[in-house]
Amino acid sequence: MFKYNCQNPISKVGISKLGPDYEATDQMEDAEVLLIRSANLHDVSLPENLACIARAGAGVNNIPLELCAEHGIVVFNTPGANANGVKELVLAGMLLASRDIMGGIEWVKSQKGNPDVNAQAEKQKKKFAGCEINGKKLGIIGLGAIGQLVANAATHLGMDVYGYDPYLSVDAAWNLSRSIHHIQDLDEIYRECDYITVHVPLTDSTRNMIDSRALELMKDEVVILNFSRDLLVDEKALVQALRSHKVKKYVTDFANPTVAGEPGILVTPHLGASTEESEDNCAVMAVKEMRDYMENGNIKNSVNYPSCDMGRCLAQGRIAINHRNIANMLGQFTSVLGEAGINIADLTNKGKDGYAYTLIDIESPITSDIIKKLESIEGVLRVRIVK
Ligand X SMILES: O=C(O)C(=O)COP(=O)(O)O
Ligand Y SMILES: NC(=O)C1=CN([C@@H]2O[C@H](COP(=O)(O)OP(=O)(O)OC[C@H]3O[C@@H](n4cnc5c(N)ncnc54)[C@H](O)[C@@H]3O)[C@@H](O)[C@H]2O)C=CC1
In the complex, the residues that contact ligand X under the rule CB under 6 A are 37-38, 57-59, 82, 270, 272-274
For the chain, list the strands marked E by DSSP.
2-6, 22-24, 33-36, 52-55, 74-76, 137-141, 160-164, 181-182, 195-198, 222-226, 247-252, 265-267, 317-324, 344-352, 355-362, 380-385
User: Quick one: which segment of 224-232, 305-313, 323-331, 336-344 binds ligand Y (CB under 6 A)?
Assistant: 224-232
CA angle 249, 212, 221 (to 5 degrees): 30
Q: How far apart are CA 204 and CA 221, in angstroms?
A: 29
Which residues lie below 8 Å from residue 175, measured CB to CB, with a gap of 6+?
148, 152
Residue closer to ligand X by CB (options 4, 227) is 227
Residue closer to ligand X by CB (options 267, 374) is 267
User: Quick one: which segment of 41-49, 104-112, 142-150, 154-162 binds ligand Y (CB under 6 A)?
Assistant: 142-150
Q: Which of 147, 151, 299, 310 binds ligand Y (CB under 6 A)?
A: 147
Question: Least Å distance between CB 34 and ligand Y?
Answer: 19
- 147-178 in b/e form (b: 16+ CB < 10 A) is bbbbbbbbbebebbbbbbbeebeeebeeebee
78 binds ligand Y, rule: CB under 6 A: no
Q: How far apart are CA 14 and CA 327, in angstroms?
A: 39
279 binds ligand Y, rule: CB under 6 A: no
Please name every residue paired with 100 in a beta bridge, in sequence order, or none if there are none: none
Question: Least Å distance between CB 82 and ligand X?
Answer: 5
Q: Which of 72, 139, 144, 297 binds ligand Y (CB under 6 A)?
A: 144
**Residue numbers 18-57 binding ligand Y by CB under 6 A:** 57
Residue closer to ligand Y by CB (options 165, 361) is 165
Q: How far apart are CA 251 and CA 94, in angstroms?
A: 8
**Could you say which of ligand X, ligand Y, none residue 81 binds, taking C-beta under 5 to 8 angstroms by partner kind?**
none
174 binds ligand Y, rule: CB under 6 A: no
**Could you say which of ligand Y, ligand X, none residue 206 binds, taking C-beta under 5 to 8 angstroms by partner kind?**
ligand Y
Say if residues 10 and 53 touch (Cβ distance below 8 Å).
Answer: no
Residue closer to ligand X by CB (options 47, 57) is 57
Q: Which of 82, 296, 298, 358 binds ligand Y (CB under 6 A)?
A: 82
**Could you say which of ligand Y, ligand X, none residue 141 binds, taking C-beta under 5 to 8 angstroms by partner kind?**
ligand Y
Q: Which of 22, 76, 162, 164 binds ligand Y (CB under 6 A)?
A: 164
Number of residues that bind ligand Y (CB under 6 A): 31
Say if residues 148 and 84 touch (Cβ distance below 8 Å).
Answer: no
Q: How far apart are CA 12 and CA 26, in angstroms?
A: 16
Q: How far apart are CA 275 and CA 280, in angstroms?
A: 8
Q: How many CB atoms lie within 10 A of CB 336?
A: 18
73 binds ligand Y, rule: CB under 6 A: no
90 binds ligand Y, rule: CB under 6 A: no
Question: Least Å distance between CB 277 and ligand Y?
Answer: 13
Residues that bind ligand Y (CB under 6 A): 57-59, 79, 82-83, 86, 141-147, 164-167, 172, 199-202, 206, 227-229, 253, 270, 272-273
